[in-house]
């Protein structure tokens, strides 16, 4: 043909077959850039293969992954109720003082079917009581020192002063040293009460009757004695503390509910009574606590319990509010020390038919939907100041899944609201159900559409790479010609100048 082609003298084994094919007349119809091997062509061939592989993988992933579309329509529901699922820890409210209720919007009418339970939690967030190892028994010299201290306090303050009730600041006693009262007795059982507390007034006769038996002295009756762990008989003094007249002491001791009953040892360690306020339960409590060393503590926070409220409520599908209400138990809370900080472990809405298995309809939903089904899970809401209440505003939207199951998304806005100093703060959740639903449809690509698009994109990638290769080769050839032309002109100019010289 008059054209010279240069081939390597030694061709690697994979390329030998390709070179032999090029030598045959069967390959003459191929374009020249397919016949002539070059580094640029090899590079673009490699890039083409990589691009086609990437396109193939991407198309396969898109084909296998589900896709969704959404449509808005009027609210579709099967009944007149909606279920609220909740799991909330109240850090500073005991279960005895916590109540769960749902109210219709604009009224105090309680509307709900309740299926939940309350579990006490200790200060470390653990269920049940946290019992610490007790101290060792008092040696004989410590017991002797204890007796000497009691005698010294009796001489300084007077036995009548130490044995008297702190019922009023104008009862003729000094009431200066509350710690002396505790240190002057083996054990002191104290009733912290408030004159305005209705539970305190109801409990007062039972306390007075039991105090007359335990303290003794009236009508010549002997005081009751209780044996400690070593078998030594101990006396217990029952005293009342009026937290209206002696607010400073009650605040220092962390009294936030009335009545609060505490059993103190002479060294200041204590136990808090949490049972039913009847004589049998009170005597049993004193007997057991005097007879044990473990579990006593000087820190009142050791006996501060929170409460976990968990369960479900069925409420009408109308706007309303869901409340964790403090102060509805057998104690009156101190509004100036009530804190409603809480941790939301779970909060969601569902159909009543789902019952306890309300998470099942969530399966198969896209991530954009599931993250709005329970958006407040795992969040802590802390009240840093007293007289503050947390208010949560929830906008609820029903959502129909591709499996024809109804789930509920909701948006959440929170705010801290100041309350009157005499009002007990509450944790409130205001919810409003929107009158429309979101219908989610699952969309999948047909196999022939997948095959067509895959071949088209791979072919397009190959064509683009071939065009880029030819443009690159043409550009490279043009640059080489220009460089040769410039080099030839330079040599010709040198010869003329030399001849002139």
**Distance of alpha carbon 176 from alpha carbon 58, whole angstroms:** 82
pLDDT, tens digit, 9 for 90 and up, residues 371-412: 899 999 999 999 888 788 899 999 999 988 877 888 899 999
pLDDT, tens digit, 9 for 90 and up, residues 337-369: 778 889 999 999 988 888 777 777 777 788 888
- As a whole number of Å, the end-to-end CA separation of the chain is 46
β partners of residue 333? 257
Please report the sign of the dihedral spanned by the C-alpha atoms of residue 469, residue 473, residue 476, residue 482.
negative
β partners of residue 74? 436
What are the b/e assignments for 32-68, b being 16+ CB within 10 Å?
A: ebeeeeeeebeebbeebeebbeebeeebeeebeeeee
Residue 455 has what pLDDT? 77
DSSP per residue, 215-262: H--GGGPPPPEEE-TTS-EEEEEEEEEETTTTHHHHHHTT--EESEEE
Residue 498 has what pLDDT? 42
Residue 196 has what pLDDT? 92
Residue 376 has what pLDDT? 94
**Distance of alpha carbon 461 from alpha carbon 47, whole angstroms:** 10
Residue 501 has what pLDDT? 36
Residue 293 has what pLDDT? 66
Phi and psi angles of residue 243, each rounded to the nearest 5 degrees, phi first: -80, 0
**Scanning the structure block, which residue is given the tokens 């507390």?**
197
Cis amide leading into 259 (omega within 30): yes
Query: Does the pTM of the predicted model rise above 0.85?
Result: no
**Distance of alpha carbon 99 from alpha carbon 101, whole angstroms:** 7
Which run of H or E residues covers position 394? Answer: strand 388-400
Residue 375 has what pLDDT? 94
Alpha helix positions (H), 253-354: 279-290
Q: Which residues of the chain have pLDDT under 50?
A: 1-9, 11, 18, 22-23, 25-27, 30, 128-140, 495-501
Helix H, strand E, coil C: the string for 132-165 is CCCCCCCCHHHHHHHHHHHHHHHHHHCHHHHHCC
Are 239 and 190 in contact, with CB atoms under 8 Å apart? yes
Residue 299 has what pLDDT? 54
Phi and psi angles of residue 467, each rounded to the nearest 5 degrees, phi first: -60, -40
Give which of 201, 193, 203 is closest to 276, Cα–Cα. 203
Residue 192 has what pLDDT? 94
Phi and psi angles of residue 71, each rounded to the nearest 5 degrees, phi first: -135, 140
């Amino acid at each position: 043909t008059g054209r010279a082609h240069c081939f390597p003298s030694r061709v690697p084994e994979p390329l030998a077959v390709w070179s032999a094919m090029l030598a045959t007349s069967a390959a003459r119809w191929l374009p020249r850039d397919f016949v002539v091997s070059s580094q640029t062509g090899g590079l673009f061939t490699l890039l083409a293969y990589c691009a086609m592989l990437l396109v193939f993988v991407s198309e396969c992933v898109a084909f296998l992954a589900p896709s969704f579309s959404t449509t808005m329509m009027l609210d579709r529901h099967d009944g007149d109720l909606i279920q609220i699922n909740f799991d909330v820890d109240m850090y500073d409210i005991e279960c005895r003082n916590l109540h769960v209720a749902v109210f219709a919007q604009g009224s105090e009418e309680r509307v709900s079917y309740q299926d939940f339970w309350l579990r006490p939690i200790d200060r470390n967030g653990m269920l049940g009581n946290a019992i610490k190892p007790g101290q060792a028994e008092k040696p004989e010299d410590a017991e002797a020192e204890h007796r000497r201290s009691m005698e010294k306090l009796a001489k300084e303050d007077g036995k009548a002063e130490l044995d008297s009730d702190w019922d009023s600041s104008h009862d003729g006693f000094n009431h200066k040293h509350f710690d002396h009262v505790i240190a002057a007795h083996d054990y002191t059982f104290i009733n912290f009460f408030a004159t305005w507390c209705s539970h305190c007034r109801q409990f007062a006769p039972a306390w007075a009757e039991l105090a007359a038996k335990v303290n003794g002295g009236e009508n010549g009756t002997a005081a009751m004695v209780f044996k400690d762990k070593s078998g030594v008989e101990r006396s217990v003094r029952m005293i009342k503390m009026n937290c209206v007249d002696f607010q400073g002491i009650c605040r220092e001791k962390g009294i936030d509910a009335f009545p609060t009953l505490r059993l103190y040892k002479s060294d200041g360690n204590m136990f808090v009574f949490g049972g039913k306020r009847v004589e049998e339960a009170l005597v049993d409590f004193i007997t057991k606590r005097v007879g044990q060393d473990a579990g006593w503590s000087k820190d009142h926070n050791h006996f501060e319990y929170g409460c976990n409220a968990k369960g479900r409520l069925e409420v009408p599908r109308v706007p309303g509010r869901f409340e964790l209400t403090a102060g509805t138990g057998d104690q009156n809370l101190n509004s100036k020390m009530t804190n409603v900080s809480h941790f939301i472990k779970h909060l969601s809405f569902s159909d009543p038919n789902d019952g306890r298995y309300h998470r099942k309809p969530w399966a198969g939903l896209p991530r954009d939907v599931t993250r709005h089904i329970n958006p407040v899970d795992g969040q802590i809401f802390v009240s840093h100041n007293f007289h503050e209440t947390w208010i949560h505003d929830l906008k609820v939207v029903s959502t129909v899944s591709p499996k024809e199951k109804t789930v509920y998304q909701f948006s959440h806005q929170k705010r801290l609201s100041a309350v009157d100093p005499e009002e007990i703060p509450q944790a409130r959740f205001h919810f409003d159900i929107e009158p429309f639903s979101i219908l989610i449809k699952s969309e999948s690509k047909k196999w022939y559409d997948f095959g067509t698009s895959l071949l088209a994109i791979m072919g397009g990638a190959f064509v683009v790479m071939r065009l880029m290769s030819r443009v690159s080769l043409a550009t490279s050839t043009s640059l080489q010609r220009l460089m040769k032309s410039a080099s030839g002109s330079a040599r010709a100019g040198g010869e003329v100048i030399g001849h002139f010289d």
